[in-house]
């Protein structure tokens, strides 16, 4: 059976990406209702929601198959009770990022490359996210701390590559991104900028030609 939801977006008028971002599905009951799934057959894990809340865009849900618990898109966002299992070897910081965090907002794990946690949130919560326990509170830099981040990069000429990550860096406004990218662009030893984002998939309206 392949039956998709016709439309979860009520208006024909294109919405601004900021409006879509402020209208995410965060209630498991609403999600299951839209997908015509019986909540009693697979109740969500309240502990998992408490640690990492449900969050998904309506357009991503629109691509899910009705009535299918095994839908791969649903499984990416559904807070299953399987998450409560204690599994030997599983840790909350699998990439050991806490040990590679010399200044707030910057991870320096590999030679020649740093990652900036440009924005502490995303348009979707992927259940598999390896940063679901990340210390965003300590890695959401103030303006002063962004200067520390830039100083750190300026002072290490071996750094050639910057990755904008998060969270999702495209959850920042164009103005914020332009400012940060402009500051990075003035650092002569940087040659590569990468942007790690799921926005093209979960909120394609975020992208523009500008």
Q: Give dist(CA 47, CA 205) in Å, integer.
A: 32
Residue 206 touching ligand SF4 (CB under 6 A): no
Contact status: 107 vs ligand SF4 (CB under 6 A): no
The encoded tokens of residue 122 equal 């995303």
201 makes contact with ligand SF4 (CB under 6 A)? no
Q: Is residue 168 within the footprint of ligand SF4 (CB under 6 A)?
A: yes
Residue 126 is a binding residue for ligand SF4 (CB under 6 A): yes
Between 124 and 159, name the residue whose CB sits nearer to ligand SF4: 124
97 binds ligand SF4 (CB under 6 A): no
> Binding ligand SF4 by CB under 6 A: which of 24, 54, 124, 170?
124
Q: What minimum distance in Å lies between the beta carbon of 36 and ligand SF4?
A: 25
Of the residues 21, 31, 64, 122, which one makes contact with ligand SF4 according to CB under 6 A: 122
Q: Select from 65-73, 125-133, 135-143, 173-181 the region that touches ligand SF4 (CB under 6 A).
A: 125-133
Residue 199, classified by CB atoms within 10 Å of its CB into exposed (0-12), middle (13-18) or buried (19+), is buried
34 with 25: CB under 8 angstroms?
yes
Q: Is 203 in the site for ligand SF4 (CB under 6 A)?
A: no
Nearest-angstrom CA–CA distance, 188 and 157: 9
Q: How far is the CB of 198 from ligand SF4 (least distance, A)?
A: 4
Element (H or E) spanning 51, and its range? Answer: helix 46-51
Please state the closest distance from residue 49 (CB atom) to ligand SF4, in A.
Answer: 14
Rule CB under 6 A: say whether 129 interacts with ligand SF4. yes
Helices 143-155 and 174-185, axial angle in degrees (round to 10): 30
Nearest 5°: CA angle at 93, between 157 and 158?
Answer: 5
Nearest to 10 by CA among 39, 38, 34: 34
- The nearest distance, CB 34 to ligand SF4, in angstroms, is 20
Size of the site for ligand SF4 (CB under 6 A): 10
The closest of 157, 193, 188, 190 to 177, measured between CA atoms, is 193
Continuous segment of H or E residues that includes residue 106: strand 106-110
- Chain residues binding ligand SF4 by CB under 6 A are 122, 124-126, 129, 131, 166-168, 198
């Amino acid at each position: 059976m392949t039956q998709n939801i016709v439309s979860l977006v009520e208006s024909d008028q294109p919405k601004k990406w900021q409006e879509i971002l402020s209208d995410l599905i965060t209630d498991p009951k609403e999600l299951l209702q839209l997908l015509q799934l019986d909540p009693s057959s697979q109740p969500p894990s309240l502990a998992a929601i408490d640690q990492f809340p449900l969050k998904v865009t309506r357009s991503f849900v629109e691509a899910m198959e009705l009535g299918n618990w095994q839908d791969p898109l649903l499984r990416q966002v559904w807070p299953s009770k399987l998450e409560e299992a204690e599994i030997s070897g599983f840790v909350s910081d699998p990439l050991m990022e806490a040990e590679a965090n010399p200044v707030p907002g910057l991870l320096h794990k590999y030679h020649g490359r740093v990652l900036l946690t440009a924005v502490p949130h995303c348009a979707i919560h992927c259940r598999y996210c390896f940063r679901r326990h990340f210390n965003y509170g300590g890695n959401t830099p103030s303006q002063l701390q962004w200067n520390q981040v830039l100083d750190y990069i300026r002072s290490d000429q071996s750094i050639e590559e910057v990755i904008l990550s998060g969270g999702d860096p495209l959850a920042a406004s164009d103005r914020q991104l332009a400012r940060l990218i402009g500051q990075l662009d003035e650092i002569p030893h940087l040659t590569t900028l990468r942007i790690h984002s799921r926005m093209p998939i979960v909120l394609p309206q975020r992208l523009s030609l500008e």
